[in-house]
Amino acid sequence: MATRSPSVVISDDEPGYDLDLFCIPRHYAEDLEKVFIPHGLIMDRTERLARDVMKEMGGHHIVALCVLKGGYKFFADLLDYIKVLNRNSDRSIPMTVDFIRLKSYCDIIDTGKTMQTLLSLVKQHNPKMVKVASLLVKRTPRSVGYRPDFVGFEIPDKFVVGYALDYNEYFRDLNHVCVISETGKAKYKA
């Protein structure tokens, strides 16, 4: 088995970044506490995960399955980096793409229960191998212990939005991963 890069661990007391340091849509100004993971850091980490995926997959055909809706941005960026690696190296991997929507919320790996259920369904189709990549894994006491094969960031148990992660369909349009404020939760409550 190939060696994968470890995840970036964000500590529980990470202060994040002041919103004024970044381009945040004005309509969200009061709804966010802080920028937790800036877009540039997300992109750099995603590029590294693409390299790790290519190394791990060897010459196997990849069937990339995106869990909608919150996973689409990470999925698209990860595949873009994989495509660049495919074009610019001596070895390339054939790839097909598909999408799935789950009834349960599955934007990030939180407890891991939803992903375990999805994996059991996927494995009924007898794939040669199954690998999971997730931008975020949350450290939470509710976790069942599931850990994806490729992890961008391990984060504390905070409610994060942005980079396609939502709160009642809002905040998907943010480039950065941010911590939502109590004001934001109240404002966009379903």
Question: Could you list the active site residues?
Answer: 110
CA angle 106, 112, 113 (to 5 degrees): 85
Query: What is the phi-psi region of residue 164: left when phi exceeds 0, alpha when psi lies from -120 to 50, beta otherwise?
Result: left
State the Cα–Cα distance between residues 139 and 60, nearest whole angstrom.
32
- Dist CA 33 CA 180 (whole Å): 6
- Residue 125 CA to residue 49 CA, distance in Å, equals 26
Any bridge partners for residue 155, and if so which? 138
d(C-alpha 21, C-alpha 92), whole Å? 39
DSSP state of 27: G
Distances in whole angstroms, Cα of residue 130 to Cα of each of 64, 121, 168 = 10, 11, 30
Residue 85 vs residues 97, 107, 110, 155: alpha-carbon distances, Å: 17, 26, 30, 28
